[in-house]
A and B are shown apart, each in its own frame.
Chain A
């Protein structure tokens, strides 16, 4: 047994998938042959207004004021074709991409005997969540299933193949207009009537095309499927016309993209581990950014906020003409909070907060400090790794060093330049931004140096001093220049 999923008006569905509200409005889709663009598919309101296939855009617009004319969205058509295959592969291991908007499934071995209607409805519902209207037919051969899918509203099972085929209108076999006209003049309206004419009679009077039609209608042999493997990439793309210049329309489309991708990933029981955003600019340049999802998820809000937070601080040199968003699937993180371990509870929320803090303060202003392997004062770097997944508490460099003497230092960054008067080779008077006045006590000097072997060499002399007011400063002399390093507190 075989099933065929059919997306009627495939190109129109692809063009309107991200704007489902347009289905209730008159919209006509233009096919673009080399000579002249003509209407090819249209929404129901447009059809009711008298718009028919083959009209030029001007003729169609004259039928209905406010008719929205759209061109084919090739990028979306590719997306929908891949999406249809991915969806079909969720329900059968053997699938074929039969034609544009048509996918055939081999149901051999699948336990559907009891409730094929419910099974079919699950597929139709899955595609409906992806903004696609599907019809599904089931039959003994792929050909019969395909014919059933065209007649389905939205599901049809051809139980008796002969009876089903015989009752079909002749047009369902898609004969050429000439053959169809002749047969209609003969009074042949159904496939049953056509088959009753006999193979030899048809060959004699109408030629090989009629024979081919006869073979197609009479055949009960299941042809082998050309099995297809669904693409592993999950992507959504859109071309903008006119180009987008502000953030709002971009975010509007992105939100729908994220929603669609999340549903597609959920369909295969996966979540987004990475998002790659690609923008084509009208200048010909491209902008691309990879977003790593700290805790893989399919939550639309979380994924969208991640993109939004970053894009709020992005400026492109030219308007955007095309957008592509790819999601790399991954497994949902299984994080169990240990009894004695308190990791970040919501890594994705933290990722967003981190992006906002970085936008507010700039890079290298947030993170965990990691001490450098040097004695040079105030040498550290900011790390972001280990924030989401806590590092094991292993002793690192300097772990065994005792803390410096006295209360901790609050550093001035950069150190405040100072003038220090020395008496008896000890600091006696300090003139600086933070303080000006006599020094009552001083402890030092402590000399340190490093990297004398290269151009980064340094040498300094440090004093801890107490002013008459009680402030405790660290003074440092380097290259004959005094600085206030910070204040003890």
Chain B
């Protein structure tokens, strides 16, 4: 009896054959095994020595890092500006998906801005679609998704599958996705940081270095690279 390849009994050779057939028929598709985390983790430096030390080198490439900043004056925009400066220093592009069109370019020097690709969204839904496109694009070494001041009602419409899809895209393309959120909401985030700063009007006289010195972050969840929880 002649057996078609897709009717072979399950087994190691059958699975290999099935994978081969799937790869031939659907070259764009990837199996979970193929998209598994890199064995040797690779990091993109954040430009902040304390944060790099906390994250064991920087943003984990191919992973989602959630930075939740719940309180007022937590410093998420300050962190954003620091990331932009680091991209400028490294002569790399940074994609900023601005979920509420709130980024203020006036606070950043013009040469630094020249390394920013700014996507100005109005809603979280738009921002997630833009993140999907930019992660597929693979041109940007760092993609930042800023949902810090999006209304809570917009988050209720986001299904968990959306975050998993973004996570899978980031993994496939080796791009670090940094999501700034008002509260912890990404269940599958490999790394989660919380910003604990509380800036007040008293911080106004401080220089940039002084402000950065007051930026406090805590590692709430570490990626599976042997990082132990610590405070920054």
Contact = CB atoms under 8 A, between A and B. Distances in A.
A340 interface: yes
Interface string B31-75: 000000000000000000000000000000000000001011111
27 contacts: A342-B90, A349-B139, A357-B134, A360-B126, A367-B117, A368-B116, A369-B118, A371-B105, A371-B106, A380-B106, A386-B114, A390-B114, A391-B114, A397-B110, A403-B208, A405-B204, A406-B201, A406-B203, A409-B106, A410-B100, A410-B148, A470-B198, A472-B73, A486-B102, A488-B77, A489-B78, A489-B149
A131 interface: no
Contact of B77 (A377, A409, A413): A409
Interface residues of B, number: 59
A238 B121 CA distance: 40
Nearest to B87: A342
Contacts of B69: 489
Interface string B134-159: 10111101000000110000000000
Interface in B64-118: 69, 71-78, 80-81, 88, 90-93, 100-111, 113-118
Contacts of A185: none
A489 B75 contact: yes
A471 interface: yes
B18 interface: no
A410 B114 contact: no
Given A403-B109, A410-B100, A471-B73, 13 more contacts: A340-B91, A357-B119, A360-B129, A396-B111, A396-B114, A399-B109, A406-B199, A407-B211, A408-B77, A410-B102, A411-B101, A441-B201, A489-B74
Interface string A364-382: 0111111100000111101
Leading 9 A-B pairs by shortest Cβ distance: A396-B110, A369-B105, A408-B77, A410-B102, A489-B77, A353-B137, A471-B72, A470-B72, A406-B204
Given A366-B118, A409-B104, A399 B111 contact: yes
Contacts of A408: 77-78, 80-81, 104, 107
Contacts of A405: 204-205
A205 interface: no
B116 A369 contact: yes
Nearest to A443: B201
B130 interface: yes
A361 B133 CA distance: 12
Interface string A152-191: 0000000000000000000000000000000000000000
B106 A377 contact: yes
B111 A395 contact: yes
A383 to B, nearest CB: 9
Interface in A276-294: none
Contacts of A465: 201
B120 interface: yes
B183 to A, nearest CB: 14
Interface string A384-399: 0011001101111111
B13 interface: no
A317 interface: no
B102 A412 contact: yes
A346 interface: yes
Contacts of B81: 403, 408
Contacts of A399: 109-111
A128 to B, nearest CB: 26
Given A366-B120, A404-B106, A471-B72, A360 B111 contact: no
Contacts of B115: 390
Given A407-B75, A443-B204, A489-B74, A361 B121 contact: yes
Nearest to A338: B91
Nearest to B200: A466
A344 interface: yes
Nearest to B197: A407
Nearest to A353: B137
B91 A341 contact: yes
Q: Which residue, of B93, B117, B136, has the highest number of chain A Cβ atoms within 10 A?
A: B117
Contacts of A489: 69, 72-78, 148-149, 199
A349 B104 contact: no
A370 B77 contact: no
Interface string B180-211: 00000000000000000011110111101001
A380 B198 CA distance: 30
Interface string A13-55: 0000000000000000000000000000000000000000000
Contact of A387 (B74, B101, B117): B117
A393 B114 contact: yes
